[in-house]
Structure 1
């Protein structure tokens, strides 16, 4: 037991994951990994000098079993004297609505809820219980799908305010610790099925690799993924010094100078394009995407290719221009609080903020709104004939068309301007002005920040 605890201490210290006076919100599923994490941090709470809370998401995927998980987590938090937060969401419906896998929907909702609860309850960090085996599955899955160097770099010990203190431990070490300590936990029956991609690797492929090739497979992958991550960091720092010389970001597109790009060592071409697509356009670029872009370098000007995210790459005489075609007038995009989407005008992000974080500026690309009357998801679309809103500072409604004319928006640009709506009310004429009904005042309890980059 002590050996395992010391291993976690060293990992936390090496990556500077926890500092004195940190407030940690732990993602608690009830499974062995998160139960180990919450017991470990509770046991050494005074040593770390931290405050701890626990969050559980009821996915509603396994009926009574999911409800039993929730009750188990609530009792555990109570036993340890921790604040407990719980949300129940229909993940299957979320997956169908957003046309994504159940795994992805669960991950998306979980992190969104964690961020919101952390903000509302003054937790500065979120702790998840990803372990060394999870990292192996991630690396294998990404390698098989051809995600490149970033994919085989695995799960980072820290990303933003999210920390993973037990990433260094094998599943077997965690189970051994819990058994010796006589600590109970829940088992997710869906993990026994190999229908999901991760479960297939976990239950079928990795055991064969451990049995026939390397019994320490997960630890080997973990060390290699850390090496890859350090290599990737070095490459990105190197590229960052070159970027300003041949990449120009306009409001709705990115332009790469071909002459300057071709002066790079050829070995950098692929990783450079992938990094630019991910950093500036938030595209998880595949091997195919990167090759499509590179194929234009020796082709005739005027050609274009389509890549992930609905973007087109245009081969100009002296540059490659990457942009999305204008949205259809009828297209409606759903946006959740805590998420971001790429639109023709840039990257739109909606996030919770506390009143103390408000920094008022004259910039039209940043707005703060009251979320006290916000219901459900936001919708984004092009404005339509007849659309009205109450521009901030006015006491009467105005047609969006007339407002844009008053703002001296060119007729050629006017038709593509978009509006953000909630519950069928226009909240923001994107990049111009919010609606008076959503302004922040002294009685506002909840605030959202709208950012267009």
Structure 2
């Protein structure tokens, strides 16, 4: 703890730092009157200054404040002293205080990520959990102007593109950063003048960490070339944030045009639309898709984006499938680009080709459930949804043609209950248009269905046998004819591995 003069801090709304915080909040519309704000509080200089500034402003604007502190356990006794300091300050201000101890080192080992990344993930998970549980509208963090400069330099050294040069965003969803326009030296000057104590984190001096080397070595060296290097980098980030927002406004309509389907954990884009864009726009479209299913672009590099954009030649029957960091699986041919995020680690794929397979599932549909507007069954194991609806045959044969995701069958030839399940060894049916019975396995092989996707395909079975291989073919026995009176219409949606992309890919694998 810094040894400062004793005395009760006297902070007011007229103080320069408090005014800067207020101006930043107003400029970015960070907090509305009457909202609640959870302050991520480490006890360091930045978060301490933020706490005092928001504490003063809260009374004027009716904000409800709370303090959240993560005990990361990385600095042994110092971490305990950090927790004691933050708890005591919360008590002195009569603010709600939330603290949790996290095994950051254990997370680092389990997820095979850096210690910095493990700590960041633990903090954000804790903050969001408290905000959701306790009803906080915003999460205020103490990132300041120099942090932005360091982030820009870090991203530049990593080979980041224009988006990486935007630095640290002042507002990102529920996260706000009211100190983002205040430099570090002004924060420490404010605390010293007000005789406010804060905690020092000695790990910030450990130059084994890249960010610390940038702060302690690189930026001081660059000051000999440009004494205002931090200000210059912050200004660059500010310019790039505005530029990026403008460009995304242009690219977003193109993304919506290219988007064929999306759902929890998957996005399907039209490869032809993607290929028709300038390379720069194509990269942004891919990053937009990845951000939607992954939540961020961490560990996604320029090389990964280029790999996705490297499309097969038009008309090629060659299909591409590969994996990206964060459990992202990519399918690509000349028609579709499919990005999915798997629930389990892709490390489960062994060198022998064995891969995580969908768990067994089975769902029952009784005849009584088809009354009225029909019913939907969601397959939790794959994310697919199947809608069953009864209609009558109006004689329009054009309306009876299936489109891959839709099947129509003679309702009066069906027995109930229906079972919706995945394929099992020995399954057979008579594909529409054929006479002899065929093993489902052979049907998959003939249609070039990747063996890793077969268990994700829903099979609809009546007591008499299989009547539909989801998204592919009905059984000959339930074919709709001119004599058909009642029709069962089945529609499949929401499953990335068995819908549009699988229909197109089945000829390629």
- Scaled by the length of structure 1, the TM-score of the pair is 0.71
User: Which structure has the larger Rg over C-alpha atoms?
Assistant: 2
What do residues 297-324 of structure 1 show as CA deviations (whole Å, max 9, x unaligned)?
5585515263523545455243444457
Is this contact kept in 2: 1:45–1:51, CA < 8 A?
Answer: yes
Quote the Cα distance in structure 1 between the aligned partners of 2:348 and 2:138.
37
Quote the Cα distance in structure 2 between the aligned partners of 1:144 and 1:203.
16
Q: How far did residue 66 of structure 1 move?
A: 0.7
What does residue 294 of structure 1 align with? Answer: 309
Q: Which moved more, 1:262-271 or 1:38-47?
A: 262-271
State which of 123, 126, 132 in structure 1 corresponds to 2:136: 123
- Unpaired runs of at least 5, structure 1: 333-342, 346-361, 368-379, 382-404, 418-450
What does residue 157 of structure 1 align with? Answer: 170
State which of 215, 221, 225 in structure 2 corresponds to 1:202: 215
In structure 2, relative to structure 1, the CA distance for the partners of 1:282 and 1:50 (3 Å cut) is closer
- C-alpha RMSD of the superposition: 3.5
User: Alignment partner of 2:70: what SS?
Assistant: strand
1:225 aligns with 2:240: no
Is this contact kept in 2: 1:366–1:452, CA < 8 A?
Answer: no
- State how 1:50-449 maps to structure 2 within 5 Å: 50-210=63-223, 212-249=224-261, 254-282=267-295, 284=297, 285-296=300-311, 298=313, 301-302=317-318, 304=320, 306-309=322-325, 311=328, 313-322=330-339, 331=348, 406-411=419-424, 415-416=455-456
Quote the Cα distance in structure 1 between the aligned partners of 2:306 and 2:151.
23
What does residue 58 of structure 2 align with? Answer: 45
Is this contact kept in 2: 1:23–1:123, CA < 8 A?
Answer: yes
Quote the Cα distance in structure 2 between the aligned partners of 1:416 and 1:101.
34
Quote the Cα distance in structure 2 between the aligned partners of 1:263 and 1:248.
16
In structure 2, relative to structure 1, the CA distance for the partners of 1:366 and 1:27 (3 Å cut) is farther
In structure 2, relative to structure 1, the CA distance for the partners of 1:20 and 1:320 (3 Å cut) is closer
User: Alignment partner of 1:26: what SS?
Assistant: strand
Quote the Cα distance in structure 1 between the aligned partners of 2:253 and 2:62.
40
How many corresponding residue pairs? 361
- Unpaired runs of at least 5, structure 2: 1-13, 350-355, 359-374, 383-417, 425-443, 445-452, 458-493, 497-509
In structure 2, relative to structure 1, the CA distance for the partners of 1:322 and 1:215 (3 Å cut) is same
- Scaled by the length of structure 2, the TM-score of the pair is 0.63
What do residues 29-77 of structure 1 show as CA deviations (whole Å, max 9, x unaligned)?
1100011011111122212221111111111111111101111111111
Is this contact kept in 1: 2:272–2:334, CA < 8 A?
Answer: no
